[in-house]
Structure 1
Amino acid sequence: MEDHEILDTENLNELIRIRLEKLSNLIASGKDPFAITSYDKTHSSKDIINGFESLEGQTVQIAGRILSRRMMGKASFAHIMDFEGQLQIYLKIDELGEDAYEEWKKLDIGDIIGVSGKVFKTHKGEVSVNAKSVLLLAKSLLPLPEKWHGLKDNDLRYRQRYVDLIANPEVKQAFITRYKIIKAIRSYLDDNGFIEVETPILSTLAGGASARPFITHHNTLDLSMYMRIAPELYLKRLIVGGFERVYELGRMFRNEGMDIKHNPEFTMMELYQAYTDLDGMIDITQNIFEAVRKAVGAGESITYQGTQISLKAPWKRMSMAEAVKQYAGVDINAMDEKQAKAKAKEMGIALDKGKDSKGFILYEMFDNFVEDKLIDPTFITDYPVEVSPLAKRKQGTEVTHRFELFMYGREMGNAFAELNDPADQKSRFLAQAKLKELGDDEAQPYDEDYVTALEYGLPPTGGLGLGIDRMVMLFTDSISIRDVILYPTMKPKK
């Protein structure tokens, strides 16, 4: 049977039996591969390919997984894969010795080996290693997916990411890019005087965002606790305490729906800076994306899912009311509340109990008819007070100093000039509590201690939150959030 043939269940079971038998024979002969604790690897595949001129004729030791091999009697070629890529090895019976060559022939695709040999280039010009010795380091007891087509079943890819990374090497690159993005964000913030901190993941209140939390139970204290939905209120307490620039980059948890843009467990970066405003947050947002763009080698114009997106700053700004007027044809500022309700009904917008004010109506119009039309980076400003319980109100208006950043019809970030008036904050919390009483599971709880913190004095402060997973999706051209999370949430198999 050729290595690339698709295996039915009967053949698969037989191959597993054969591999287990091979392992048993190895153990019986004192060659248990799982007893080996280390291997002195001197070079990676990339080191050898890129450094061929200086390494030609030199002895190297490499290690990796067998991906393919071609047997030709007393000689054979194979490719092994390590973290950096693939490298060809050449094996001859008169150089390995008959016994060692027989042992080599018994190995399987997927086995992990260490190879010592000299670097050379074949007649076809492929950099290779002429093997002098081969050591089995780990036995693969399960066959790899059919090699010509890779692992295409998305459900299986996400459940068994380890197999996905072997079968689809390009997947690894997305997570290397993710690492570069996170590193670039941290480097930018560190270089600009921000201090990275850690705040609780478990707490007795789930505040800082409008979202449904995960609930757990602390046995010793016998009380319910919540997985954090956002670190905002803890970070702003630090500004009260005298920190002036702080950030946190980590996991958040929201007990909500799952689709290509949402995973219950996701990564977010939040920062807070004293003595700045929304313009300061806009500058930081553009600077972070510029730092990320350079770190991953992207141009000022990128292609996402076939659509060109210009990242050249400055980015467009428009108020939510302006956006609704331009894209939905509704001038809500020219309407009273009764007219706004009638227009919402005409547009098919269902308004929940307690959420039928002009501010809620404007937000629903934007959400339903505008958001998906914002392709190039756009800052949507002037969010209604009703949907912005933690943002500072614009004097004499019913809107706030808040923006959300949109690209390709998706929210990428959220920022406020932070509400620091304790009386106003208390009133907003009470309004949220009423919504919760009416059945809104995403309304924010009343946080008495946070109001107390504000009473000690929070300086004028700007805050920003960026969705890391969506940023990685953008720069890796990934259609689903599951493609940029190593272990996305999956429904258990029955």
Structure 2
Amino acid sequence: MENNIQQEYNDLVKRRFEELDELKKMGIEPFAYEFDVNSDSEDIKNNFKDDEHRIVKIAGRIMAIRRMGKASFAHIQDHKGRIQIYLKKDELAEMYDAFKLMDIGDIIGVEGFVFKTKTGEISVHTQKLVLLAKGLRPIPIAKEVIDENGNKIIYDQFADKELRYRQRYVDLVVNPDVKDVFIKRSKIISTIREFLDSKGLLEVETPILQPLYGGAAARPFITHHNALDIDLYLRIADELYLKRLIVGGFNGVYEISKDFRNEGMDRSHNPEFTMLELYVPYKDYNWMMNFVEELFEYVCTKVFGTLKFTYDNLQIDFSRPWKRISMIEAIEEKTGVNVIKSDIETLTTVAKKLSIDVAGLNSKAKLIDEIFSAAVEGELIQPTFVLDYPVELSPLAKKHRTKEGVVERFEAYVVGKEICNAFSELNDPLDQRARFEEQVKMREAGDDEAHQIDEDFLRALEYGMPPTAGLGIGIDRLVMILTNQPSIRDVIFFPQMKPEVK
């Protein structure tokens, strides 16, 4: 293993292995078992008092070193930030010599008292030093230089996007803003949970491995269960199992889970993604629109302290009420065609005029979806509810109570991206069976994303499911927008990547 690492690198790695050997010869364990940390960089700086001789124990990664013979300064970085430490040879004795064998990237523990240097920097005067982990690979540290015109020039920045995604552990060390995005992500999710719990919804768990996949139009990942000798699917959605729980009598359930869709990848799609789904009995999609506005208001205000955001230089305001438009009317306004009344040939002609590749678009549902994406989506910058989708696009939603050819469904869009999807859920088992059978015809005609017939789900509906409102929110895309990140990969710790080429 050591040889493999050294072959990959240059003399810098060779030197680190030599330092490792020297440390071992000095009797110093280069990979410690523990260190009793009692403070962090933020706490030390925020609570400094000139007249207090405070003893602290802090640990972190060395990010800068300035050696001056019998004394040295260094900056270490912990989970809260950076702080300077001061080391003197006559106080640390052998460990000062050991410090000469330590590099940027090594993790150390320091015990000492807090003081302020002559330049006013709060620091830790090291009285005890412990090596916790010797770094065998150098971390990329950006160097800042101010040119003669006062401009800041940064060299050796760890900026290659693909490398940052592959080596997120390095990205988090050297790019502090990245860590902040993921802290925000965690707070967004915990605040969503807080809001839903306060509304009396119960968080539940449903199967990831499913004998039938459903709840969305997508291609699944397939795996095999050896003991049962059957193929299973990684879920593409949680919907059908959560609805079974509504049949069982729960008064509102939600799940924040990983879903999987065997599809292409782009700036807003990853094959493994985080989804919130929730279902509330005795409600409809009109109620759910108000619920979504309230949820967003709560999360944005609590996590960010504002309802106004900037995404890719676009100004967004999540204040209530959001704009509401009809999908059918929006398409007709842009194309002059009523997609409900049009046949496949007419829709194909419209799609071609919009420069849509119609290969494989062999159903009205797919054509309408692509036409909407091309003609309307990009202009939906402010939060907007798009209402009343064609029946062909929504096999799990109730038909509209007053409008022919559409269902009671909405999707919310912001900055041209879909952020949630909701229905007045279909609870008529006879209508649901007919919709599933129509999906089977679409599958036989070549639509490999069409829904299967789930007989157990139909059986559940036959026992009776109350009128129900359902909602799905893509967490990754939501975090992208709220933290102003250009790609879904920027908000997923370890996004899916092609195998690394050696």
* AA partner of residue 16 (structure 1): V
From the superposition, tell whether residues 312 and 441 of structure 1 become closer, same or farther in structure 2 (CA, over 3 Å).
Answer: same
Does the 8 Å contact 2:301/2:307 carry over to 1? no
* AA partner of residue 371 (structure 1): E
CA distance in 2, matches of 1:415, 1:21: 61
CA distance in 2, matches of 1:69, 1:280: 59
What is aligned with 2:146?
Answer: none
What is aligned with 2:389?
Answer: 383
From the superposition, tell whether residues 291 and 210 of structure 1 become closer, same or farther in structure 2 (CA, over 3 Å).
Answer: same
What is aligned with 1:71?
Answer: 67
What is aligned with 2:338?
Answer: 332
Q: How many residue pairs get matched? A: 482
2:226 aligned to which of 213, 219, 222: 219
What is aligned with 1:13?
Answer: 10
What is aligned with 1:108?
Answer: 103
1:164 aligned to which of 168, 171, 178: 171
CA distance in 1, matches of 2:291, 2:379: 24
- Describe the SS at the equivalent of 1:53: coil
What is aligned with 2:30?
Answer: 33
What is aligned with 1:143?
Answer: 138
CA-CA distance at 1:456 after TM superposition: 0.5
- Describe the SS at the equivalent of 2:371: helix
What is aligned with 1:181?
Answer: 188
Q: C-alpha deviations, 1:407-457, integer Å up to 9, x for none? A: 110010000000001111001101111111122111111101111111110
CA distance in 2, matches of 1:32, 1:282: 60
CA-CA distance at 1:279 after TM superposition: 1.6
CA distance in 2, matches of 1:345, 1:94: 80
2:488 pairs with 1:481: yes
Q: C-alpha deviations, 1:141-178, integer Å up to 9, x for none? A: 11011332431111111111111111111110010000
2:77 aligned to which of 75, 81, 84: 81
Does the 8 Å contact 2:219/2:448 carry over to 1? yes
CA-CA distance at 1:331 after TM superposition: 4.3
CA-CA distance at 1:42 after TM superposition: 1.1
1:120 aligned to which of 115, 118, 131: 115
Q: Which moved more, 1:18-27 or 1:60-69?
A: 18-27
* AA partner of residue 371 (structure 2): M
What is aligned with 1:471?
Answer: 478
From the superposition, tell whether residues 15 and 341 of structure 1 become closer, same or farther in structure 2 (CA, over 3 Å).
Answer: closer
CA-CA distance at 1:33 after TM superposition: 2.3
Q: C-alpha deviations, 1:18-46, integer Å up to 9, x for none? A: 21122223223321222x31111110001
* AA partner of residue 422 (structure 1): P
- Describe the SS at the equivalent of 1:33: coil
Does the 8 Å contact 1:23/1:32 carry over to 2? no
- Describe the SS at the equivalent of 2:49: helix
- Describe the SS at the equivalent of 2:231: strand
What is aligned with 2:267?
Answer: 260
From the superposition, tell whether residues 284 and 107 of structure 1 become closer, same or farther in structure 2 (CA, over 3 Å).
Answer: same
What is aligned with 1:42?
Answer: 38
What is aligned with 1:5?
Answer: none
Does the 8 Å contact 2:23/2:101 carry over to 1? no
Question: RMSD of aligned C-alpha atoms?
Answer: 2.0
CA distance in 2, matches of 1:258, 1:194: 33
CA-CA distance at 1:53 after TM superposition: 2.3
Q: C-alpha deviations, 1:56-95, integer Å up to 9, x for none? A: 4211111000000111222211100000000011112233
CA distance in 2, matches of 1:54, 1:178: 37
* Identity, % of aligned positions: 52
CA distance in 2, matches of 1:349, 1:16: 52
Aligned positions of 1:330-479 closer than 5 A: 330-332=336-338, 336-337=342-343, 342-349=349-356, 355-357=362-364, 361-395=367-401, 397-479=404-486
Q: C-alpha deviations, 1:242-287, integer Å up to 9, x for none? A: 0120000010000000111010000000000000011221122112
1:61 aligned to which of 57, 60, 64: 57
From the superposition, tell whether residues 431 and 129 of structure 1 become closer, same or farther in structure 2 (CA, over 3 Å).
Answer: same
* AA partner of residue 41 (structure 1): V
CA-CA distance at 1:347 after TM superposition: 4.0
- Describe the SS at the equivalent of 1:380: strand
Does the 8 Å contact 1:353/1:438 carry over to 2? no
Q: C-alpha deviations, 1:187-235, integer Å up to 9, x for none? A: 0001110000000000111100000000111111111110000000000
1:24 aligned to which of 21, 25, 44: 21
Task: Provide structure 1 residue ranges, at least 5 long, that are not aligned to the other structure.
Answer: 1-8
CA distance in 2, matches of 1:361, 1:212: 18
Q: C-alpha deviations, 1:277-323, integer Å up to 9, x for none? A: 11221122112211221232242211011110111111000110122
From the superposition, tell whether residues 133 and 346 of structure 1 become closer, same or farther in structure 2 (CA, over 3 Å).
Answer: closer
TM (normalized to structure 1)?
0.93
What is aligned with 2:241?
Answer: 234
Task: Provide structure 2 residue ranges, at least 5 long, that are not aligned to the other structure.
Answer: 1-5, 144-155
What is aligned with 1:4?
Answer: none
* AA partner of residue 179 (structure 1): S
* AA partner of residue 204 (structure 2): V
CA distance in 2, matches of 1:245, 1:54: 55
What is aligned with 2:500?
Answer: 493
CA-CA distance at 1:350 after TM superposition: 5.5
Does the 8 Å contact 2:386/2:410 carry over to 1? yes
CA distance in 1, matches of 2:41, 2:289: 43
